[in-house]
C-alpha cells in the first residue's frame, strides 16, 4: 500500500467549466479518503467530484458544493451539497482504468484563476 497526498493546481478560464480526470492505473485500485477542492476564481463555482468509467459514463456522484470566490471545500469525507451535509468518515473505492473526475462548473463572466485540489488516497493492487 502507498498513501498519496499532495496539493496540485489547475487553471480556471473565464466562464468555462474545467474538468480534470485522474485515472487509476490498470491493475490497481484507489481507496479515496479525502478530496479538497478550491475555487480560485472571483465568482461562485459549483465544485463536483464523481467516478467515471473509461467511456466517461458516471458510475458514482460523490459530492457537489457551490463554493464562493476563493473558497476551499473538503468534499470527502464530508459528502455534502449546498443544502444537506452528510458528515462522517467515508472511503470511496475506484478500480483500475476508471477515473476520479473533478469539475469546476463555470460561474459566469470572471477573471479565471488558479484552483488547487488535494486527494488523499491509498493505491493498492487490485
The rounded distance, in Å, linking the Cα atoms of 81 and 48 is 9
Q: What is the pTM of this model?
A: 0.90
pLDDT bin (cut points 50, 70, 90) of residue 54 is: very high
How large is the average pLDDT for residues 44-66?
94
| CATH number of the domain residue 119 falls in | 2.60.120.1330
* Residue 91 DSSP SS3: coil
Work out how many domains the chain is built from and give that number.
1
Domain that holds residue 49: 2-125
The rounded distance, in Å, linking the Cα atoms of 47 and 82 is 10
Q: Give the β-pairing of 99-104 and 45-52.
A: antiparallel
How large is the average pLDDT for residues 28-44?
95
How does pLDDT run across 60-113, given as a tens digit for each residue?
Answer: 998 889 999 999 988 876 554 544 555 566 789 999 999 999 999 998 999 999
Helix (H) or strand (E) holding 5: strand 2-12
Amino acid at each position: 500500500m502507498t498513501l498519496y497526498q499532495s496539493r496540485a493546481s489547475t487553471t480556471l478560464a473565464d466562464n468555462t467549466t474545467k474538468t480534470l480526470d485522474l485515472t487509476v492505473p490498470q491493475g490497481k485500485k484507489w481507496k479515496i479518503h479525502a478530496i479538497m477542492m478550491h475555487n480560485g476564481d472571483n465568482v461562485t463555482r459549483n465544485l463536483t467530484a464523481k467516478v467515471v468509467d473509461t467511456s466517461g459514463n458516471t458510475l458514482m456522484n460523490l459530492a457537489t458544493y457551490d463554493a464562493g470566490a476563493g473558497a476551499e471545500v473538503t468534499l470527502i469525507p464530508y459528502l455534502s451539497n449546498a443544502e444537506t451535509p452528510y458528515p462522517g468518515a467515508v472511503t470511496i473505492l475506484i478500480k483500475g482504468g476508471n477515473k476520479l473526475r473533478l469539475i469546476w462548473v463555470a460561474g459566469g463572466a470572471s477573471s479565471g484563476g488558479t484552483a488547487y485540489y488535494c486527494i488523499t488516497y491509498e493505491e493498492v493492487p487490485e
